[in-house]
Amino acid sequence: MAKTPAQRIKKHGSKAVVPQHHLPPVVNPTTARTPEKAESNSNLILVLGVVASLFLFWYLHLLTLDQLRQLSGGLAMPDSLVGGFDPGYIGQLQAAMDDDARGQLNYVHKTAGTLFPLIFGFTWLLLIGTNVARRAARWTLWALLLLFVVARLWGNVAIDGMLAAGAPDAGQVAVASGLTVAGWVLLVLCLLTGAAAVVLKARKAKTAT
């Protein structure tokens, strides 16, 4: 039976040979999340979000809504009218679109029309959060972004309800038109403020170095 280190010392004194015990090495001493790694991860998410937002914008506005003109006698869908629309235009659209065409537009609103503002909103939320240091400015830009998401999602519902009516209703048309214009204006403002935040942060980092 092997003697313990204490027994070896008691028997042999200073000449005792005591085996050295070493603790096992740390498996991965670099698992701590450094600020550089966190920033790299957020940048990767931002790039993926921007790519997804660009794809959904192209798919929604430049492909799908444009193809629906084939079901409306060449008339543009209300979502594409940056300057809004009036009851006369909606009356023409209602006469040209049957139930199947309106159903397809409703399906587009529930899929790409919902995904685009949500994914864009999440991406710009992260972009503002990582590039704007001042709390007041950050919350102001986030509120602007939230208004865009609400305007687009509410606009989808308003347009579907407006087209489902038997005849153009001036109140419904005004609400849907206002939400459509607001959605486009807020989208442009979000893009400009997001780009400005990135540029200003890059300039500050350059002057700091």
Does residue 154 belong to any structural domain of this protein? yes
Report residue 72 CA to chain centroid gap.
31
* Per-position DSSP letters for 39-77, written without gaps between them: HHHHHHHHHHHHHHHHHHHIIIIIIIHHHGGGGTTTPPP
> Is residue 174 predicted with pLDDT exceeding 70?
yes
- For 53-108, how does the pLDDT look when each residue is reduced to its tens digit (9 = 90+)? 999 999 999 999 999 999 999 999 999 999 999 999 999 999 999 999 999 999 99
- For 121-145, how does the pLDDT look when each residue is reduced to its tens digit (9 = 90+)? 999 999 999 999 889 989 999 999 9
Does residue 81 belong to any structural domain of this protein? no
This prediction has a pTM of: 0.80
Q: What does the mean pLDDT of the chain come to?
A: 87
Q: What pLDDT score was predicted for residue 108?
A: 97
Angle at 97 (CA atoms; ends 93, 98), nearest 5 degrees: 150
Does residue 42 belong to any structural domain of this protein? no
Does residue 160 belong to any structural domain of this protein? yes
Q: What pLDDT score was predicted for residue 80?
A: 95
Does residue 22 belong to any structural domain of this protein? no
Domain of residue 122: give its range.
97-209
Give the count of domains, the chain.
1
CA gap 196, 203 in Å, rounded: 11
Does residue 151 belong to any structural domain of this protein? yes
3-state helix, strand, coil in the chain (%, to 5): 80, 0, 20
User: Do 148 and 79 touch, CB atoms closer than 8 A?
Assistant: no
Does residue 66 belong to any structural domain of this protein? no
Averaged pLDDT for residues 175-184: 98
41 band by pLDDT with thresholds 50, 70 and 90: confident
Does residue 78 belong to any structural domain of this protein? no
